[in-house]
Amino acid sequence: MNEASLMKPKTRKLIFSAGLSWLFDAMDVGIISFIVTALTLEWKLSPQDVGILTSVNSIGMVFGAAGAGYLADKFGRKKVLLWTLLVFSVASGLSALASSFWVLCLLRFITGVGLGGELPVASTLVSESVHVSQRGRAVVLLESFWAGGWLAAALISYFLIPAYGWQIAFVIGALPALYALYLRRAIDDSPVYESNRARAASRSFAGKLASIWTREHSRSTIMLWILWFTVVFSYYGMFLWLPSVMHLKGFSMIKSFEYVLIMTIAQLPGYFTAAYFIEKFGRKFVMITYLVLTAVSAAWFGNAETAGSLIAAGICLSFFNLGAWGGLYAYTPELYPTSVRSTGVGLATSVGRIGGVIAPFLVGYLVQRHVEINVIFIMFFVIILIGALGVLFLGKETKGKMLAD
């Protein structure tokens, strides 16, 4: 492949096709943050109940990410991408029929298994399919579809949930099952994986786990696990609670949805600037810069009181946090060889999802104990800085380097 391969129709089609599956993922994750606000009123949920409901999705993602990563090394990226897409879309559609809190929690767990599995597999597939000079940018552009999914979730929640109830959001979440039929014919496995299929498929999970902890890869594994945990902890702790935090600060449900919709739009320029900088200045520059500015934005948001200040802080939080996410997905697959790449990415993602389990539940617990919102967001400020320091001291630059076979 030459340097212009990102612009070739086949490459654009891969990014767009995988990106739509990513968009559906984000839409499902985003919708639950709005649904819990509606359910809090309808089912009289406590803050701790809200924490449980938003955390159980991430529990499923822990298992989905680890399992799908290994399966994608064994059976191929494309097959596992399709399987995970079907799992989360069917479970999401069934969630509309949930008649009790615990039934909904069970269905959200199954949805999380599919969601958690799809994301690392899709990023690995794109990373392996694009020329080295454009690889980071391609994966960030793939990740930018996440903003489109959150925007869709915000629009659905703003226009449809108040009029038709929270069930309509879950019904729409079942549509990706139909998209999987198209995706089956639209994409191929990466040529890098195909040329290493026999070696990747033959190794056991224990062998792959041992491989990412060898002397050659252990430093990267430690860095990635710290980075993924801190980024996912802060993201799910902050963004799944954004509508509820706005509500706690005295705004109506409709007004909260409207403000979060405005904040969500800021995710797109965050991705696009990260996509530009990641090939110009490198992965470490993007990760450290965007994480530090995310931390500053979190402290600002937690202490903001007026509507204008909240919106401005929320816009900055969305811009820098989602730019960092783009860099994270681009960076991670580049640190492992093909035979264990998807397993390594999946396990790092899985460790991160543990942070996604803890954070929403912890925020719910703290809110129920009447801990001030500004104190909670200072906690996120500290956690995010730990992730930035991990990259600074343990990370290695992969810009312009070929993927290891």
Three-class SS state of 386: helix
Q: Is 399 a domain residue?
A: no
Stretch 328-349: mean pLDDT: 92
Q: Is 292 a domain residue?
A: yes
Report the C-alpha gap between 307 and 210 in whole angstroms.
51
pLDDT digits (tens, 9 = 90+) for 169-190: 999 988 888 888 788 778 888 8
pLDDT digits (tens, 9 = 90+) for 96-135: 999 899 999 999 999 999 998 998 898 889 888 888 888 8
Range of the domain at 49: 11-185+197-394
Q: At 204, which CATH number?
A: 1.20.1250.20
Q: What is the DSSP string of 82-144?
A: HHHHHHHHHHHHHHTT--SHHHHHHHHHHHHHHHHHHHHHHHHHHHHHS-TTTHHHHHHHHHH
Asked if residues 156 and 260 have their Cβ atoms less than 8 Å apart, the reply is: no
Stretch 65-83: mean pLDDT: 90
Asked if residues 317 and 131 have their Cβ atoms less than 8 Å apart, the reply is: no
pLDDT of residue 1: 41
Stretch 140-149: mean pLDDT: 86
Q: Is 114 a domain residue?
A: yes
- pLDDT bin (cut points 50, 70, 90) of residue 194 is confident
Among 166, 186, 212, 152, CA closest to 342: 212
Q: Is 171 a domain residue?
A: yes
Stretch 2-14: mean pLDDT: 64
Residue 361 has pLDDT above 50, yes or no: yes
Any idea which residue has 């224990």 for tokens? Answer: 206
Residue 348 has pLDDT above 80, yes or no: yes
User: Which tokens in the block code for residue 174?
Assistant: 């079942």
Q: Which residues contact 16 (CB under 8 A, 6 or more apart)?
A: none
pLDDT digits (tens, 9 = 90+) for 148-171: 888 888 888 878 888 888 899 999
- In the chain, the number of structural domains is 1
Among 107, 122, 144, CA closest to 69: 122
Report the C-alpha gap between 22 and 324 in whole angstroms.
16
% the chain with pLDDT above 70: 96
pLDDT digits (tens, 9 = 90+) for 264-310: 788 889 989 999 999 999 999 999 999 999 999 999 998 888 888 88
| Residues in the chain, overall count | 405
* 178: number of Cβ within 10 Å: 9
pLDDT of residue 5: 45
Residue 319 has pLDDT above 80, yes or no: yes
Residue 301 Cα to chain centre, angstroms = 21
pLDDT of residue 200: 66
First to last CA, the chain: 16
Q: Is 402 a domain residue?
A: no
> In this structure, which amino acid lies at residue 19?
G
Report the C-alpha gap between 108 and 111 in whole angstroms.
5
Q: Is 153 a domain residue?
A: yes
* pTM to 2 decimal places: 0.83
Residue 195 Cα to chain centre, angstroms = 29
